[in-house]
Structure 1
Amino acid sequence: MNQPTKFDQRSILTPLFLSLLITEVLSSLGQVILTFALPLHLLNLTGSASLYGLVTALALIPSVLLTPLGGGLADRLNKRTSMAVLDFSTAVLAALYLLLSRKLDLVVLTIAVMMDVYGLHALYSPVVQAAVPFIIDASGEHGNERLTRATALITQVTSLTIMLGPVLAGMLLGFAGIGPVVLLAGLACLLSSIWIALALPIPRRPAAESSRGLLKNLLADFAQAAHFLLARYQLIVVNLLVTLANFVFAAFANVALPYVVTQLLGLSNQLQGLAEGLISAGGLAGAVLVAVRPAWFTLERVRALLAACGLCLLPIALSLFFAAPPMVSYLVLLASLAVAVGLIQCVSVTFIAYEQTETPKDLVGKVIGLTMCLAMAAMPLGQALYGPIIDHLPMPAIMLAVALIMVTASLLARRSMRAHS
């Protein structure tokens, strides 16, 4: 009897895939540094959670609107050219911020630059995810496992930059000010653009010719992706659950973390940057876990993972409620949110890998773009809502409410999926 061949991790780590990982490190580092430092700089100047929430909410609007467009473009345009142009554009935005920061209103400039950065990243991410099936051979035995592990590896390097970027940005912001931070981000994106042009010849499959025009083609792409998703009830439920999690949990964490560290606990920008980095280490651990044990993670387990994510807020709420010393509350915050981010990363990798393996190649970018749009659409609303709530309500009570909503939503999703199984 023929024995099944053993999965070979080296089949993933080709020179082309390693070049994609290097690109992801540089590009993600530049984007993370900018989106971390610019709103934190405003929070330091104003101390207002409402303004911080408003700025970060407005910044995400282009991202929500452009993500489906990025999916369609990812399937139709040359992926290498698209990625290089998008990274170069981010570097230009960093340069413009440095040139205009003393001439324009800082709030308006920060919103404008962050809107553009998030918008460019929304176009960029689907291109990267859509490129994976063209770089990794998914045919034959272990094909789906290769794609899952490749997606997890990309998520790992992204998590690593999300972990290191805020630490580096926080240190620079505390000691040298906002200028060197923005300069570093721009250089990272510029290097990424150059590396893509020189070392990332992504294979391409010519898109089918059409005489309808770009706009009609993109609308047709959207309809095609929506039709694909609507035929799969499990994906609909998981999409709704992830969207709710972004609205209730992720939006809250994005606004609450810097406010708790720098305002409630009175700690420094350096410790805020360290907090972002160490919490992101949880995301890296989650991606590593999925890569090592992909069979553990299925769509059916997404509900439990998101419920556990909400429960991670309870230790932080107790620490703040009983007025623990600032460093004690800080450490509880780090540990709890690191676990929560790890769980979210497990959900993200599982979801994207499932779509990559179950979606036809010519639909991968469109479907991922649409699902990312649905998941992200709630973020601006949530962040804008949480700013005034945090300014006027006790933080422990808000955290308790978030945890209860997450658990309740997960239980309802479980019942709904069982009823349609």
Structure 2
Amino acid sequence: MQEKTIHTPSPKNFNLMVSGQIISILGSALLRFALSLYVLDTTGSESLFATLFAISNIPLLLAPLGGAIADRFNRRNLMVIFDFTSSAIVLSLIILMSVGSISVFTAGTSMVLLSIVSALYTPAVTASIPLLVEEQKLEGANGLVQAVQALSAVAAPVLGGILYGLMGLKTVVAVSCISFFLSAVMELFIQIPFVKRQWTGPVIPAIARDMKEGFTYVLKQEFIRKVSMIAVLLNLVLIPYFLVGAPIVLRVTMQSSDTLYGIGMGLINSATILGALSIGFFAKKMSLKTLHRWLFACALMMVLMAASLMPLFLGLGYYPSFILFMLGAIPIAASMTVISIYIITKVQIITPDKNLGKVMAIITAVSQCAAPLGQILYGVIFEKWSTQVFIPTFLVGIMTLLLGVLTWYLLKCEEVTPCTEN
């Protein structure tokens, strides 16, 4: 067993990476939003708009490949290459637009290509964080990176809508191209510890073996199997409710105006960001043995939300129901982020650096695959119970309670020991 390469984490390197992430992720989110809006304006087809969004998420399944690559090559160099590649893709789009208007196929192809690059890029980032910060600050660092991603998701529709409406698609595309380029330049100055591994054969078979090794490692590690199961169920049960259920509740059940609907969803998204930024505070008071308490609290908040949707409360007028619903939704949104980051950090602590990219990518891909299934399920359920939405909301509360019981059972004896392997 070899010890990890000794290095002194530098705040400068982490700050450079986060700054590059802010620019790169925002540029990507802006372009994705603007291209989707362009397709909607060009075709007038809402189904095509939704389909394009869904197709652009498929490349997330390539995350395990990105993880294997991140564990083989210099992660700083990978970030630089991927951002320059994204910039080149967008530059090609600009050239096509200068010749004439782009087709829906071209817009869709650009989104898919950028999603592929993103799926390969993200594992390099998540695997680099433990090498750039001290272990006691790891939760806060993970929280900051997730907050950047959440903030970009909130800001992109606002900024993208303004730029697209005032200056058109070409301006948004140009801003996105510049963003990727600037991010790549900033990442050139990052120093990330890297230990070169020997190749035992051609590159492609070696990467394939590394991916197999990653899946084998995840299956053999009992703790990682347990937290992966919790992450999958969280993405299947609770998270889709806020992606599908909450918009339906606010828009259809409560008949919210455009302003109040925006305020409601904005508060929920802001709670996600708040949870990510506050993980450093909560992590000091959390433990694996008591993680179930967070889910019990979420279950209680879901019951509160279900009560706000009962005919009795809805009969009291719009604001009492809206306020009670948000009093439950906001703490849950923040708690889900805290739980996710806490679990991710514990996995990072016990995973050797040579497997870190693969393991994080596999957990991300597996858990995120559960979310679309949950979204489809909730879409059907809310359509069936459209006049009694408090029933599915209450059932989600029951399932969250059961998830809390399962979490207690799985983690009641777990303790995390930092990895000393290279």
What's the TM-score bracket when you normalise by the shorter of the two chains?
0.7 to 0.9
1:81 to 67, 77, 81: 77
Determine if contact 1:165/1:277 at 8 Å carries over to the other structure: no
What is the TM-score when the length of structure 1 is the normalising length? 0.77
Please list, as runs of the form range in 1=range in 2, the aligned pairs for 1:16-35 lying within 5 A after superposition.
Answer: 16-35=13-32
Please list, as runs of the form range in 1=range in 2, the aligned pairs for 1:17-416 lying within 5 A after superposition.
Answer: 17-35=14-32, 55-63=52-60, 65-91=61-87, 103-105=102-104, 112-136=109-133, 143-169=134-160, 172=163, 183-197=174-188, 199-211=189-201, 213-258=202-247, 265=255, 267-268=257-258, 277-309=266-298, 311-322=300-311, 323=314, 336-394=328-386, 395-416=389-410
What is the TM-score when the length of structure 2 is the normalising length? 0.77
Determine if contact 2:289/2:414 at 8 Å carries over to the other structure: no
1:262-292 C-alpha deviation (Å, 9 max, x unpaired): 6664644x77666555433322322333213
Cα distance in 1 for residues equivalent to 2:383 and 2:283: 41
Cα distance in 1 for residues equivalent to 2:109 and 2:298: 32
Cα distance in 1 for residues equivalent to 2:40 and 2:298: 26
Label 1:310 to 1:406 Cα distance change in 2 as closer, same or farther (>3 A): same
Aligned identity (percent) is: 25
Which is worse superposed, 285-294 or 366-375?
285-294
Cα distance in 2 for residues equivalent to 1:377 and 1:287: 22
Determine if contact 1:37/1:169 at 8 Å carries over to the other structure: yes
Number of residues of Structure 1 aligned to a counterpart in Structure 2: 398
Label 1:192 to 1:381 Cα distance change in 2 as closer, same or farther (>3 A): same
Alpha-carbon offset, residue 80 of structure 1: 2.3
Determine if contact 2:308/2:322 at 8 Å carries over to the other structure: no
Which structure 1 segments of 5+ residues have no match?
A: 1-10, 137-142
Cα distance in 2 for residues equivalent to 1:53 and 1:17: 36
Determine if contact 2:140/2:278 at 8 Å carries over to the other structure: no
Which is worse superposed, 271-280 or 149-158?
271-280
Larger radius of gyration: 2
Alpha-carbon offset, residue 321 of structure 1: 4.6
Which structure 2 segments of 5+ residues have no match?
A: 1-7, 416-422
Letter in 2 for 1:365: G
Determine if contact 1:28/1:158 at 8 Å carries over to the other structure: yes
Alpha-carbon offset, residue 331 of structure 1: 5.6
Q: CA RMSD in A?
A: 3.9
Which is worse superposed, 36-45 or 116-125?
36-45
Determine if contact 1:238/1:302 at 8 Å carries over to the other structure: no
Which is worse superposed, 332-341 or 361-370?
332-341
Determine if contact 1:23/1:192 at 8 Å carries over to the other structure: yes
Alpha-carbon offset, residue 190 of structure 1: 3.2
